[in-house]
Amino acid sequence: MNSQHDKNVSLTRRDFIKVTGTILLVAGLGDQPARAEGASQGCTLPGQFLLQADGIPPADGYLLVDIAKCQGCMSCMLACSLIHEGVESLSLSRIQIMQDSFASFPDDLTIEQCRQCVDPACVTICPTGALAADPDSGNVRIVDKEACIGCGLCFQACPFTPSRAVLAPDDEYDGQAKSRKCDLCTNAPFHWVAAGGGPGGQQACVAVCPVGAILFTDEIPEQDGDSGYRVNLRDEVWGILGYPTS
Protein backbone atom coordinates (compact mmCIF):
# COMPACT_ATOMS: atom_id res chain seq x y z
CA MET A 1 0.00 0.00 0.00
CA ASN A 2 1.51 3.34 -1.02
CA SER A 3 1.77 6.39 1.24
CA GLN A 4 -1.03 8.28 -0.50
CA HIS A 5 -3.34 5.31 -0.08
CA ASP A 6 -2.34 5.03 3.59
CA LYS A 7 -3.20 8.69 4.03
CA ASN A 8 -6.61 8.27 2.43
CA VAL A 9 -7.42 5.26 4.61
CA SER A 10 -6.28 7.15 7.71
CA LEU A 11 -8.50 10.12 6.90
CA THR A 12 -11.47 7.85 6.30
CA ARG A 13 -10.79 6.17 9.61
CA ARG A 14 -10.62 9.50 11.47
CA ASP A 15 -13.83 10.70 9.86
CA PHE A 16 -15.52 7.48 10.89
CA ILE A 17 -14.36 7.94 14.48
CA LYS A 18 -16.03 11.34 14.60
CA VAL A 19 -19.31 9.86 13.39
CA THR A 20 -19.36 6.76 15.58
CA GLY A 21 -18.39 8.80 18.61
CA THR A 22 -21.81 10.43 18.52
CA ILE A 23 -23.78 7.18 18.50
CA LEU A 24 -25.60 6.44 21.75
CA LEU A 25 -24.13 3.41 23.46
CA VAL A 26 -27.53 2.02 24.36
CA ALA A 27 -28.42 1.66 20.69
CA GLY A 28 -26.09 -1.30 20.40
CA LEU A 29 -26.97 -3.11 23.61
CA GLY A 30 -29.92 -5.07 22.32
CA ASP A 31 -28.28 -6.96 19.47
CA GLN A 32 -25.60 -9.61 19.37
CA PRO A 33 -23.40 -9.03 16.30
CA ALA A 34 -22.93 -11.84 13.84
CA ARG A 35 -19.64 -13.72 13.91
CA ALA A 36 -17.34 -12.79 11.05
CA GLU A 37 -17.17 -15.54 8.47
CA GLY A 38 -13.78 -17.16 8.12
CA ALA A 39 -12.42 -15.34 11.17
CA SER A 40 -9.48 -16.90 12.90
CA GLN A 41 -10.52 -18.66 16.11
CA GLY A 42 -7.05 -19.12 17.52
CA CYS A 43 -5.29 -22.43 17.99
CA THR A 44 -5.49 -25.13 20.62
CA LEU A 45 -2.30 -25.66 22.57
CA PRO A 46 -0.86 -29.14 23.07
CA GLY A 47 -2.46 -31.05 25.93
CA GLN A 48 0.52 -30.73 28.26
CA PHE A 49 -0.04 -26.97 28.40
CA LEU A 50 -3.72 -27.14 29.31
CA LEU A 51 -3.17 -27.72 33.03
CA GLN A 52 -0.39 -25.85 34.75
CA ALA A 53 1.80 -27.28 37.49
CA ASP A 54 -0.02 -25.19 40.07
CA GLY A 55 -3.36 -26.66 38.98
CA ILE A 56 -4.87 -23.62 37.24
CA PRO A 57 -7.05 -24.87 34.36
CA PRO A 58 -7.44 -22.84 31.16
CA ALA A 59 -10.40 -20.53 30.73
CA ASP A 60 -13.33 -21.49 28.52
CA GLY A 61 -13.34 -18.16 26.70
CA TYR A 62 -11.06 -15.50 25.17
CA LEU A 63 -11.40 -12.19 23.35
CA LEU A 64 -9.75 -11.71 19.96
CA VAL A 65 -9.42 -8.29 18.33
CA ASP A 66 -8.83 -6.77 14.91
CA ILE A 67 -6.85 -3.58 15.51
CA ALA A 68 -7.04 -2.56 11.85
CA LYS A 69 -10.84 -2.77 11.94
CA CYS A 70 -11.18 -0.85 15.22
CA GLN A 71 -12.34 2.76 14.76
CA GLY A 72 -11.43 3.99 18.24
CA CYS A 73 -14.99 4.96 19.20
CA MET A 74 -14.48 3.50 22.71
CA SER A 75 -17.99 2.05 22.84
CA CYS A 76 -16.45 -1.15 24.23
CA MET A 77 -14.82 0.74 27.10
CA LEU A 78 -17.99 2.58 28.03
CA ALA A 79 -20.08 -0.59 27.86
CA CYS A 80 -17.57 -2.44 30.02
CA SER A 81 -17.60 0.10 32.83
CA LEU A 82 -21.36 0.57 32.56
CA ILE A 83 -22.33 -3.05 33.14
CA HIS A 84 -19.67 -3.63 35.80
CA GLU A 85 -19.73 -0.34 37.72
CA GLY A 86 -23.03 1.22 36.70
CA VAL A 87 -21.27 4.29 35.27
CA GLU A 88 -19.65 5.14 31.96
CA SER A 89 -15.98 5.61 32.86
CA LEU A 90 -13.02 5.06 30.57
CA SER A 91 -10.72 4.76 33.58
CA LEU A 92 -12.75 1.86 35.02
CA SER A 93 -12.95 -0.13 31.80
CA ARG A 94 -11.33 -3.54 31.75
CA ILE A 95 -10.72 -3.31 28.00
CA GLN A 96 -8.58 -0.42 26.79
CA ILE A 97 -8.25 1.41 23.49
CA MET A 98 -4.83 3.00 23.12
CA GLN A 99 -4.44 5.83 20.60
CA ASP A 100 -1.21 7.18 19.14
CA SER A 101 -1.86 10.36 17.17
CA PHE A 102 1.69 10.33 15.80
CA ALA A 103 1.53 6.82 14.35
CA SER A 104 0.17 5.93 10.93
CA PHE A 105 -2.59 3.44 10.20
CA PRO A 106 -2.97 0.75 11.46
CA ASP A 107 -0.59 1.41 14.36
CA ASP A 108 -2.48 4.53 15.48
CA LEU A 109 -4.96 2.40 17.44
CA THR A 110 -4.60 -0.76 19.52
CA ILE A 111 -7.08 -2.75 21.58
CA GLU A 112 -5.60 -4.06 24.80
CA GLN A 113 -7.75 -6.78 26.38
CA CYS A 114 -7.14 -9.27 29.17
CA ARG A 115 -5.89 -12.49 27.59
CA GLN A 116 -7.21 -14.91 30.21
CA CYS A 117 -3.68 -16.28 30.17
CA VAL A 118 -3.15 -20.02 30.34
CA ASP A 119 -0.40 -19.25 32.85
CA PRO A 120 -1.92 -16.23 34.69
CA ALA A 121 0.77 -14.34 36.61
CA CYS A 122 -1.89 -12.20 38.31
CA VAL A 123 -3.53 -15.29 39.80
CA THR A 124 -0.38 -16.97 41.01
CA ILE A 125 1.02 -13.84 42.68
CA CYS A 126 -2.13 -12.82 44.56
CA PRO A 127 -1.38 -13.25 48.30
CA THR A 128 -5.02 -13.63 49.37
CA GLY A 129 -6.44 -15.75 46.56
CA ALA A 130 -8.65 -12.88 45.44
CA LEU A 131 -7.66 -13.58 41.84
CA ALA A 132 -8.62 -17.06 40.82
CA ALA A 133 -9.93 -19.26 38.03
CA ASP A 134 -13.65 -19.50 38.76
CA PRO A 135 -14.82 -23.09 38.14
CA ASP A 136 -18.45 -21.96 38.15
CA SER A 137 -17.80 -19.57 35.25
CA GLY A 138 -15.69 -21.62 32.89
CA ASN A 139 -12.46 -20.96 34.82
CA VAL A 140 -12.46 -17.30 33.81
CA ARG A 141 -9.85 -15.40 35.82
CA ILE A 142 -11.88 -13.24 38.21
CA VAL A 143 -11.32 -10.88 41.16
CA ASP A 144 -13.08 -11.44 44.49
CA LYS A 145 -13.34 -7.88 45.78
CA GLU A 146 -14.04 -9.08 49.31
CA ALA A 147 -10.69 -10.84 49.40
CA CYS A 148 -8.78 -8.16 47.48
CA ILE A 149 -6.58 -6.00 49.73
CA GLY A 150 -5.55 -3.56 47.03
CA CYS A 151 -1.87 -4.45 47.23
CA GLY A 152 -1.37 -3.97 43.48
CA LEU A 153 0.74 -7.09 42.99
CA CYS A 154 -1.53 -8.29 40.18
CA PHE A 155 -1.11 -4.93 38.47
CA GLN A 156 2.67 -5.27 38.69
CA ALA A 157 2.75 -8.95 37.73
CA CYS A 158 0.78 -8.58 34.51
CA PRO A 159 3.38 -9.00 31.73
CA PHE A 160 1.58 -6.63 29.36
CA THR A 161 1.58 -2.85 29.01
CA PRO A 162 -0.74 -1.35 30.01
CA SER A 163 -1.49 -3.81 32.78
CA ARG A 164 -4.73 -5.68 32.20
CA ALA A 165 -5.54 -5.34 35.89
CA VAL A 166 -7.07 -2.02 36.89
CA LEU A 167 -6.47 -0.79 40.43
CA ALA A 168 -8.83 1.97 41.55
CA PRO A 169 -10.82 3.17 44.58
CA ASP A 170 -14.13 1.37 45.04
CA ASP A 171 -17.08 3.28 46.47
CA GLU A 172 -18.66 0.05 47.74
CA TYR A 173 -15.66 -0.37 50.04
CA ASP A 174 -15.38 3.21 51.32
CA GLY A 175 -12.90 4.17 48.66
CA GLN A 176 -10.48 1.32 49.30
CA ALA A 177 -8.36 0.35 46.31
CA LYS A 178 -9.66 -2.79 44.63
CA SER A 179 -8.40 -4.67 41.61
CA ARG A 180 -10.56 -5.08 38.53
CA LYS A 181 -9.94 -7.13 35.39
CA CYS A 182 -11.88 -8.57 32.49
CA ASP A 183 -14.04 -11.48 33.55
CA LEU A 184 -15.85 -11.80 30.21
CA CYS A 185 -18.75 -10.06 31.98
CA THR A 186 -19.16 -12.97 34.43
CA ASN A 187 -19.69 -10.65 37.40
CA ALA A 188 -21.54 -7.75 35.78
CA PRO A 189 -24.37 -6.61 38.08
CA PHE A 190 -25.68 -4.09 35.55
CA HIS A 191 -25.76 -6.49 32.59
CA TRP A 192 -28.73 -5.85 30.29
CA VAL A 193 -29.32 -9.59 29.77
CA ALA A 194 -30.77 -11.54 32.68
CA ALA A 195 -28.52 -14.52 31.97
CA GLY A 196 -25.48 -12.20 32.09
CA GLY A 197 -22.10 -12.79 30.52
CA GLY A 198 -19.30 -15.26 30.97
CA PRO A 199 -18.15 -17.77 28.35
CA GLY A 200 -21.73 -18.89 27.73
CA GLY A 201 -23.30 -15.43 27.75
CA GLN A 202 -22.87 -12.04 26.14
CA GLN A 203 -19.70 -10.00 26.47
CA ALA A 204 -20.54 -6.29 26.41
CA CYS A 205 -17.58 -5.23 24.30
CA VAL A 206 -18.37 -7.82 21.65
CA ALA A 207 -22.05 -6.89 21.59
CA VAL A 208 -21.67 -3.12 21.26
CA CYS A 209 -18.72 -2.82 18.86
CA PRO A 210 -20.30 -1.13 15.83
CA VAL A 211 -17.87 -2.69 13.35
CA GLY A 212 -17.38 -6.15 14.84
CA ALA A 213 -13.72 -5.67 15.74
CA ILE A 214 -13.93 -7.90 18.83
CA LEU A 215 -14.63 -11.63 18.70
CA PHE A 216 -15.28 -14.21 21.40
CA THR A 217 -13.79 -17.66 21.02
CA ASP A 218 -13.71 -20.75 23.21
CA GLU A 219 -10.45 -21.98 21.67
CA ILE A 220 -7.14 -21.18 23.34
CA PRO A 221 -5.18 -18.64 21.31
CA GLU A 222 -1.46 -18.97 20.69
CA GLN A 223 0.14 -17.71 23.90
CA ASP A 224 3.45 -16.46 22.52
CA GLY A 225 3.36 -12.95 21.08
CA ASP A 226 0.27 -11.16 19.79
CA SER A 227 -0.67 -13.24 16.75
CA GLY A 228 -3.10 -15.46 18.62
CA TYR A 229 -5.11 -12.56 19.99
CA ARG A 230 -4.91 -10.12 17.07
CA VAL A 231 -6.80 -11.49 14.11
CA ASN A 232 -8.23 -10.41 10.77
CA LEU A 233 -12.02 -9.96 10.91
CA ARG A 234 -12.27 -7.93 7.68
CA ASP A 235 -14.10 -9.17 4.59
CA GLU A 236 -14.19 -7.94 0.99
CA VAL A 237 -16.43 -5.01 1.91
CA TRP A 238 -13.61 -3.58 3.99
CA GLY A 239 -11.33 -4.02 1.01
CA ILE A 240 -13.65 -1.82 -1.05
CA LEU A 241 -13.31 0.84 1.65
CA GLY A 242 -9.55 0.73 1.27
CA TYR A 243 -8.65 -1.45 4.23
CA PRO A 244 -6.25 -4.38 3.88
CA THR A 245 -8.09 -7.71 4.00
CA SER A 246 -5.12 -9.99 4.45
Instruction: Determine whether 224 is exposed, middle or buried from the number of CB atoms within 10 Å of its CB (0-12, 13-18, 19+).
Output: exposed
178 vs 39: which has the higher pLDDT: 178
pLDDT of residue 107: 87
For 14-40, what is the mean pLDDT? Answer: 43
Q: Is 178 inside any structural domain? A: no
Domain that holds residue 8: 3-115+183-240
Count of CB atoms within 10 A of residue 103's CB?
Answer: 12
Q: Is 70 inside any structural domain? A: yes
Q: 148, 166 in Cβ contact below 8 A?
A: no
Three-point CA angle 26, 28, 32, nearest 5°: 135
Q: Is 128 inside any structural domain? A: no
43-52, 116-125, 165-174, 182-191: the lowest-pLDDT one: 43-52
36-45, 121-130, 176-185, 206-215: the lowest-pLDDT one: 36-45
Q: Is 102 inside any structural domain? A: yes
Over residues 81-120, the pLDDT tens digits come to 999 999 999 999 999 999 998 998 888 999 999 999 999 9
How far apart are the C-alpha atoms of 76 and 131, rounded to whole Å?
23
Q: Is 79 inside any structural domain? A: yes
% the chain with pLDDT above 90: 68
Q: 183, 143 in Cβ contact below 8 A?
A: yes
Three-point CA angle 207, 208, 214, nearest 5°: 65
Q: Is 148 inside any structural domain? A: no
Q: Is the predicted pLDDT of residue 199 greater than 90, yes or no?
A: yes
